[in-house]
Amino acid sequence: MAHYTCFRNKAVAILGGAEGIGKSCAFLYAQQQADIYLADINEEKSMKLCREIKERGGRITYVKTDATKPEQVRRFAEIAGDSTDLYAVIHCTGGFTGYTPTIHLTDEEWDKVIRLNMHSIFYSSREFAKRMMYSRKGSFVNVSSIAARTALKNTPIHYSCAKAAVESMTKVLAAELGPYGIRVNAVAPGTTKTDRAIAVRGEEVMDLWGKEIPRGTLASPEEIAQAIVFLTSEEAIHITGVCLDVNGGQLIV
Ligand SMILES: NC(=O)c1ccc[n+]([C@@H]2O[C@H](COP(=O)([O-])OP(=O)(O)OC[C@H]3O[C@@H](n4cnc5c(N)ncnc54)[C@H](OP(=O)(O)O)[C@@H]3O)[C@@H](O)[C@H]2O)c1
């Protein structure tokens, strides 16, 4: 992992950070001596992560949050955004639990996935941006997906649409917040070896998909997190409004 000095004693807020890519982000930022603020719906996993980070000498504060509920996201932003020197906000909330062809998709499933992948990022961006505009610094990274750009096999329409919206939000917010010194970028991971993705796709499919891409293997969550940390660092100071593909070439084959 690259060593950055810009995160030392700065606050980094992570939504959906108790597992997968968000959890890897929490470890990497803690290594860089940031104060982590973690919002996640899963209390058990979050408490475990807090213990692990504290055992390694890191600093982390957990705020139980359902990111699809605007009042809970507002409370998280008040705690993480008002009390400290906020440097980065990472939006990892998202995902889907299985593939349903469009003709069988219910209104309820559509709403649930759209709310988790899209509304959560809107609520959080709105609340944190209000606060960051005063301090005139900081940046956001929104986690999109390769599914925003292509009809990825066995990937449902609501998820792909929500991720395309996340990339639009990234551009609009980058334009709105740039004059306040705030950068907004996205990372679009290819299929990544998180427990959730393995559960949804199956190990055999994950192995096969890994072999089929130019790099020859799918990313670990930490490899995606490294790109996220870079985009929030001083080294990326002139990068805003972009979506960085991190997919080992999965999109080009
Ligand atoms: N893994 C991939 O292949 C892949 C590829 C492209 C993009 N992405 C994107 O990367 C992001 C992270 O994916 P991941 O696979 O690392 O996720 P993950 O391992 O499923 O972790 C997501 C975390 O968010 C929590 N969460 C779920 N619903 C929430 C809510 N309403 N409010 C707050 N927290 C909530 C989950 O808790 P529970 O465990 O209790 O649900 C979990 O702790 C997502 O946006 C996903 O779409 C992933």
Angle subtended at Cα 249 by Cα 122 and Cα 158, rounded to the nearest 5 degrees: 35
**Is 68 a pocket residue for ligand 1 (Cβ < 6 Å)?**
yes
Question: Per residue of the chain (253 residues), what is the pLDDT tens digit?
Answer: 788 999 999 999 999 999 999 999 999 999 999 999 999 999 999 999 999 999 999 999 999 999 999 999 999 999 998 766 999 999 999 999 999 999 999 999 999 999 999 999 999 999 999 999 998 999 999 999 999 999 999 999 999 999 999 999 999 999 999 999 999 999 999 999 999 999 999 999 999 999 999 999 999 999 999 999 999 999 999 999 999 999 999 999 9
Q: How far is the CA of 145 from the centre of ligand 1 (A)?
A: 12
Fold that domain 11-248 belongs to in CATH? Rossmann fold (3.40.50)
64, 92, 160, 187: which to mutate for ligand 1, most atoms within 8 A of CB? Answer: 92
Give the active site residue among 29, 87, 123, 159.
159
Q: How far is the CA of 134 from the centre of ligand 1 (A)?
A: 30
Alpha-carbon distance values, 68 to 32, 41, 187, 237 (Å): 29, 10, 21, 30
**Is 58 a pocket residue for ligand 1 (Cβ < 6 Å)?**
no
91 SS3 class: strand
d(CA 128, CA 92): 15
**Is 69 a pocket residue for ligand 1 (Cβ < 6 Å)?**
no
pLDDT at 81: 86
Ligand 1, atom 47: nearest CA belongs to which residue?
A: 95
CB-based contact 73:67 (threshold 8 Å): yes
d(CA 229, CA 25): 7
**Is 145 a pocket residue for ligand 1 (Cβ < 6 Å)?**
yes
49, 111, 194: which to mutate for ligand 1, most atoms within 8 A of CB? Answer: 194
- Under 8 Å CB-to-CB from 228, ≥6 apart: which residues? 21, 25, 90, 141, 143, 187
Q: How far is the CA of 179 from the centre of ligand 1 (A)?
A: 31
Element of type H or E holding 14 = strand 11-15
Annotated active-site residue 62? The verdict is no
Ligand 1, atom 12: nearest CA belongs to which residue?
A: 92
pLDDT at 84: 62
Strand 35-40's sheet: what is its strand order?
59-64, 35-40, 11-15, 86-91, 139-143, 183-189, 243-246
Give the domain ranges of the chain.
Answer: 11-248
